[in-house]
Each structure stands twice: as structure tokens, then as C-alpha cells.
Structure 1
Amino acid sequence: MMPDNSMMTPEQLIGLNQDHLINIENNSELLGQTFQCHHEVLIPIAKLIRQSEMDGVPLRIVSSYRSFERQAEIWNNKFNNDVELNLRDGTTVQSFELTPQERVNAILHYSAIPGTSRHHWGTDFDVFDAASIDQGYEVKLTQEEFDEGGPCSNLDEWLDYNLEKFGFFKPYREDKGGVACEPWHISYKPIADKALEEFPVEFLKDILRQKDIGGKDHITSRLESLARKYVYTICSE
């Protein structure tokens, strides 16, 4: 029996190993974009990008693969510094106004615990509509950008119509009580579903205990329930 090259090791699933990835440089045929993705996702994402170009809604990748270390930087910046945190109801709060437990809960609305991000798998991408960006426009990746009348409303509609044709879906299309709605986040279902099935919760718990992660005692003590809410709770179609 031939080996399944789409399967990932525990280290790869939590962003500690990149052997499953392929690097796309901006001088490639992929429309001038630079990113990393799972080697089996290259052709599907290339086809999706090309179709978007043909349809006049040029899809651009804002974020693709993210390592454990990079996710830890994002997380620790929000936990260890007095920064403004976005909440799912559209309001904001300063992180230092919250207890450590409350801070963990607030950060989780939009930022994953290191090791739990779907971006570790190389299957998931944050995207934006290049045709709608004014020169110098700073992409924020907010719900308002994808709402009717926003700079990505056309892309949002295009994605809803075309993603499934190429094997992609929006895991956070609706707010299911875990990660807040992210209409910009797309995922290649055939590989991502396998990654989710194999997600190594106990292995990650051991790794987190060894790492410098803000609030890790509040995370590791309830990692199973946090994983159910923020890793496994998605819009599966």
C-alpha cells in the first residue's frame, strides 16, 4: 500500500515542523504571490487564484502557513502587553483590564493558542480582494470589510459560490461559539479534515508546558475543553 503523503506528524500539526510544506516565491507562475502551503494544496489553491483572476475578483493571500513560534509571538504580544483586544460583539477592551483567565478567553475570539491554529497545517489561508484595495490601503481583516458595501463584499460572494468547486470551504463562516466569524479564512477540506481528525491534544499539552506562553496554566488546565470549542467547532460545509 502506498503511503498517504497528506498525513502529518504531531510536530507538523502544531507548527513545529515544516517538512509538509512547499514554498511559493513571488516570481512563480502563481500570480506574483509568495506563501507556503501543504504540498498537496498547491494545485487547488493555484486553480482557485487563477479562476478569481479570470472572474475579475483577484484573490490575494494575506496569511498562509504560520509556525508555532510565530503564533506564540502573536499570542504573547496580546497576553503580555496592554494592547487593545477585539471582541466578537464589535467592542474592544484593553488586555490589562482583564484577569489572566479573562484575557485568555478574550484573545481566543480571534487568535489561536499556539499549536492549535489551522494555519499550522498549510491548508488554510486568509484572503483579500486585490481589486478593491486603494493604493496604500492597510488590510485589517474585519467583518466590515466583507459586509455588503465593504471592499471585499464582491470577493465574499465569489468565495461562497466558488470555494466548494475547488475543494475549499470557510471553517468560520458563521459564529458557532468558538472562533468568531472570519469570512476571509478559507481551508482546503480534503487535507484539513484529516488534520483535524489527527489533532494531538495531549502532545500539544506537553509542548505548551515546556514553552514560554502567556497564561499557559490557564490553558493547559483546560486544553481539552478549549480544543473542543476553538479547534473542533467549525462550519464543516
Structure 2
Amino acid sequence: MQRPELYGLGPDALEEGTQLIPYQEHWLEANTAAAFANMARAAEDAGLALAICSGYRSFERQLQIWNAKATGRRPLLDALSRPVNPEGLSHARLVELILLWSALPGASRHHWGTDIDLFDANAISRQALRLSSDEYLPQGPCGPLHAWLQANAGRFGFYFPYQAGLSGVSPEPWHLSYFPVASGWLADYDPKALYLILERAELALKPQVLARLHDLVDEYVFRIAPAPTAMP
């Protein structure tokens, strides 16, 4: 398989030869880490403590998240972040609900180290953070951070890939992508390779996923908000 790291299967982050480097308590793609450090310094001047709550995520970690949601060990949410009772739902509906907020293993942008989930550590602790949309509304603890990122993230090469009406994944005002690198990774992404990976994985709802994989990849991997074409 060419470029297994596209699917979270590359060398372990602790091994040599990976595109990832340690950054604070996380692993990021090297150019992403440098750009984020510059952006964090600028945010600090505005009184914001730009902090990462999720960076690189492996295939195995994403598989754990998927299986936990598919089997009721983690909560399911609808598009408005309201809890959903999984009892009585069809397998197809379960797949759709999971994909609103969580990627298929092998299909997460977090596999690339170019995408990060952010919060304002001056306004809310990591322990209290729920990564819910209301926390990033103007009156929420991360509202000023979100407004600042909307105005300034593009200067550092970052943008929001998950936006209302523009992406299959629900809007995530905490999720930024470093588009100078991530755009190239997306262009190289191969749904056929993902099929072979998932076929061998211990994946909950596997028959339902594989039967619709082409359409799921189109909707939840390739349908994202358009990335800026160049750095400003």
C-alpha cells in the first residue's frame, strides 16, 4: 500500500521516519506545528491561550472511538449535539449518526497530523471542555477564540474544513486544518485502499460501512469546505 500514513497506519509517532514531531502533549506534522506556534503567539497578544486538545490520532485510536459509539459505550449525538438513544435504530442510521461527529477509522483528518482541535485555556479547563458547539458561540467560553480564529487563522495557513452546508461532517468550530499540507494529503487519498484496510479490521457495523463506503467517503472525507488556494 502506498502512503499508509494517509489512513493512520504509518510508522508509530515515536519511531524515526514519520512526518510527525512532538508538540506539547501531542504529535503534529512538522510544518503544522511551526505554523501553529506562530499563530499561538499572535493569539496570546490578543489575550487568548490557544491550546490543543487533539492532534494526531492513529487508526487504532479512531477504531476504538468508532466501535465504542457503535456499541453504545460512548454517547451518540444528533446534528444539534443532542443525545440520541441508539435502541431500535437501524444499522444504517447508526452509521449516519456516528459520522456526524466521528470519522471512520482510516478516514480521519487527524491521521495526518495537520488537523487540530482547539480551545482557549484561559477561559475553560481541558477537564471541563466538552467540544460542543455552544462552547464556541459568542457567549460561550471559547466564543472570543472562535471569532479571533475566523479573522486570523488564514494568515497562518489554517482554516475550518467542517462548516454548515459545506461538509458532510457537522460544523466543528474547534477543528482547524493546516491547508498547505492537508490539501495535498486529501488529493492522494484512495477510497480503494481504505476498503482493503477496513475489510481486515475489527470494525463494528462493517457490512453496512463497506456496502456504502464509496458514498461515505465522498460525503464525509471529500466534501469539506473549500480550502484557500494560497497563503494570504
What is the TM-score of this pair, normalised by structure 2?
0.90
Shift of 1:82: 5.5
Is 1:221 equivalent to 2:204 in the alignment? no
Shift of 1:101: 1.4
> Does the CA-based 8 Å contact 1:82-1:96 persist in structure 2?
no
Residue 145 of structure 1 is matched in structure 2 by: 135
SS of corresponding position for 2:155: helix
| CA distance in 2: counterparts of 1:44 and 1:214, whole angstroms | 37
2:59 to 68, 75, 78: 68
Change (3 A) 1:228 1:141: same
| CA distance in 2: counterparts of 1:218 and 1:97, whole angstroms | 16
2:189 to 199, 220, 232: 199
| CA distance in 2: counterparts of 1:130 and 1:84, whole angstroms | 25
Residue 40 of structure 1 is matched in structure 2 by: 31
Residue 10 of structure 2 is matched in structure 1 by: 17
Shift of 1:146: 0.5
> Does the CA-based 8 Å contact 1:68-1:114 persist in structure 2?
yes
> Does the CA-based 8 Å contact 2:56-2:115 persist in structure 1?
yes
> Does the CA-based 8 Å contact 1:38-1:123 persist in structure 2?
yes
| CA distance in 1: counterparts of 2:52 and 2:116, whole angstroms | 6
| CA distance in 1: counterparts of 2:203 and 2:196, whole angstroms | 12
SS of corresponding position for 2:222: coil
1:85 to 70, 76, 89: 76
Amino acid at match of 1:16: L
Structure 2 residue ranges without an equivalent (≥5): 12-17, 228-232
| CA distance in 2: counterparts of 1:90 and 1:107, whole angstroms | 12
Shift of 1:41: 1.6
> Does the CA-based 8 Å contact 1:57-1:155 persist in structure 2?
yes
Is 1:112 equivalent to 2:99 in the alignment? no
Shift of 1:201: 0.8
Is 1:103 equivalent to 2:102 in the alignment? no
> Does the CA-based 8 Å contact 1:37-1:64 persist in structure 2?
yes
Structure 1 residue ranges without an equivalent (≥5): 1-8, 25-32
Change (3 A) 1:83 1:73: closer
SS of corresponding position for 1:95: coil
> Does the CA-based 8 Å contact 1:83-1:94 persist in structure 2?
no
Residue 172 of structure 1 is matched in structure 2 by: 162
Shift of 1:176: 2.8
Residue 222 of structure 2 is matched in structure 1 by: 232
Shift of 1:90: 3.7
After the TM superposition, list the runs of 4 or more consecutive aligned residues in structure 1 that deviate by more than 4 angstroms. none
Amino acid at match of 1:104: V
Give me the CA root mean square deviation.
1.5
Q: Percent identity over the alignment?
A: 37
Is 1:51 equivalent to 2:42 in the alignment? yes
Aligned length, in residue pairs:
220
